Each structure stands twice: as structure tokens, then as C-alpha cells.
Amino acid sequence: MGFHEVQFPTTISYGSSGGPVFSTGLVVVDSGAEERTARWSAARREYDVVETVKTDAQIAALITFFEARLGMAYGFRYKDFADFTTASDHIAAPDDEDQTLVGVTSGLTVGDGSETQFQLRKAYTSGAVTRYRNLTKPVADTTVIALDTVGQGSGWSVDTTTGIVTFTSAPGVGVAVTGGCEFDVPVRFDVDKLSVTIEDYGSRTIQTLPLVELFDETALADEFYYGDAYDHGTMAADVSMTTNTGRVQTVACNSTSYDMYLPSADDIPAGGPVFYVFNTGSADLEVKTTDETVVGTIGNNAGLDFFISKDSDGSKTWYAK
């Protein structure tokens, strides 16, 4: 569905529980040896407003908020009181040298003389391991920026719906781009039912109200078409795929002179399968990205599923299976 740029009532979230969650595949054999597989490259946060007595005013605010989001349908902003700033202790006021920003196009943490947009993010470092988390919901009027350790009071703006900082002039080659902010977590309700128990006059209890973090919510518009099928027929030229022509796509490739091209992965949510492509032709069909990278080759009367993976830095990659 969509996302509402409104914050969950902090008088309620302050009493909730939750934090980062990973998905790990675990196989234990008879000897006790284990095989562990990390299914996710980054954590997904989950929270719960659970068994906490609320005042009438708080209950009224919660009911109104839940109604306005249509239950699970619309996402919203949530303040995680255990981790809401870029400071190393997760709660101190942000500093303009807290974190390195990364170029949206260049992928660099320093200027290259042409990149003007940089993504706010936060590093989590333990020993030799560092994990990065893109911050897409900075709190208004809390972002601070520095170039080569010099604070910048102007010459830039920040989009509080994406966490992208845009400079009026591109930082020079080799100039360190750093910053800090307070931030919210984009979440949705994980239930469509709000259960309130009235224990006494002026005393009510929320039995459970789970929230789950959202990824790529802005990329998934209400009109995004994610089903149906399309037959391209016999290829007489290269074919460019789109999500509007359906998840399942068939084509007859009778000549290796023609290729099939996947759309950009940037505007499509990670996961899948996004497409299933079936080749009814006599020639091998190469399915490529727009930069000519071959993602998969499909023989006669065969098909492949195409997925999108997301790396810890937020970049996306097509792969076939």
C-alpha cells in the first residue's frame, strides 16, 4: 500500500519492547556440530506494545492512530528509544562527525567533484566487523553535516522521507562527507486487530500490538502490478521487460541475435521471484541487465525465475535460479 509520514505516539512507544531481528538457518547434527546460514544481510526490527496499562487519553490516541493506518495497510514512523540517534551510544545528541555518508550514485564516502547526493546511514562496529544501516527517516531539524570535519550550516538540504542529503555544490574530490541525525524506523502494524481490555474505569490494557520494520516501502506504489502473465511472441528485436507486463513472461527466441532485458532493480522491492521467463523458441535466450550483464541463459522449452537481492549497503542485484 503506502506510507504515512506520521510518528507513532511516543507516550506509548516508550513503554514498548523490541529491537533488531535476524533470520538464521540452523542445522544441528547428532554429533552436536552446527551449520548456520545467515538468510538476511541486515537486521529487521520488530517491536511490541504489550500488556501496558494506558490512560483513556492514550487509548483514544491509539485507536485513532490504528484506524487511520487501516491496520496493517499503511506504514508509519516509530521512535525506538533504545536506538534513535547516530551517536555511538545510540541515544546521545547527534554530531556532524558521527557517521560517514555514502554517495547515492558513486558509492563513495568522499566527494568526487560531481556527486551531490549522499545517503544518511549508521555503522554498527564490533571488533573487525562493521554493518551499515541506511537511515531513511531522519527527524526534521536534527540533521547536521560536516565536510572534512568543518560543520556546514548551509549549502545542503535533507529529504526526511528518504534520508538523502543533497548539496548545492558537489563536495570536492577526496573531501570527507560526514553527518548525524535523530531518526525514526519505518514500520507497520503486524496485526489487523487492535485488542483493548478494559480493566477498570480509567485503566485499560493493550494485550499485544506488534510492529515490524518496512523495507523499500517507497518503491512499492499502490498501483504496482505484481501478477498476471504476458506472451511476447516470436522475437524480432530485443525485448525490454517491465513489471506492468506481469510476473510470468513467455517469448519465442529463434535467434541468438536478440536478447531480453530486465528493468532497473532500483525501483523494485528486493526478493521475488519478480519474474518467471519461459523460452518456447529454438535458440538460447540471454536475459541481461541494461549494462549488458548476463543474468541467466534460457534454453528451448525452459524457464528461469529472476530475483532481486539487496546488499548491506542498500544496492540491489538481479540473479536467476
Q: Which residues contact 32 (CB under 8 A, 6 or more apart)?
A: none
The residue ranges of DSSP E strands in 195-267, in sequence order, are: 196-200, 203-206, 210-213, 229-234, 239-240, 248-252, 260-261
Distance between CA atoms of 302 and 315, rounded to whole angstroms? 29
Distance between CA atoms of 108 and 115, rounded to whole angstroms? 9
Distance between CA atoms of 129 and 317, rounded to whole angstroms? 23
Q: What is the pTM of this model?
A: 0.66
* pLDDT value of position 217: 54
- CA within 13 Å, CB half, 39: 8
Whether 36 contacts 107, CB under 8 Å: no
Whether 244 contacts 227, CB under 8 Å: no
CATH number for 1-84+184-221 (one of 3.30.200, 2.60.120, 2.60.40, 3.40.50): it is 3.30.200
Distance between CA atoms of 222 and 264, rounded to whole angstroms? 19
Tens digit of each residue's pLDDT (9 = 90 or more) over 295-304: 999 999 999 9
Check the CA dihedral 282-287-290-292 and report its sign.
negative
Query: Taking the mean position of all CA atoms in its chain, how far away is CA 150?
Result: 31
Query: Taking the mean position of all CA atoms in its chain, how far away is CA 22?
Result: 15
Determine phi and psi for 300, rounding to 5 degrees. -65, 135
Whether 257 contacts 207, CB under 8 Å: no
* pLDDT value of position 39: 79
Longest distance between any two alpha carbons in the chain, whole Å:
77
Q: Which residues contact 156 (CB under 8 A, 6 or more apart)?
A: 145, 165, 166, 167, 168
pLDDT under 70: residue ranges of the chain: 1, 51-54, 199-205, 216-228, 312
* pLDDT value of position 225: 44
Domain ranges in the chain are: 1-84+184-221, 94-181, 229-320
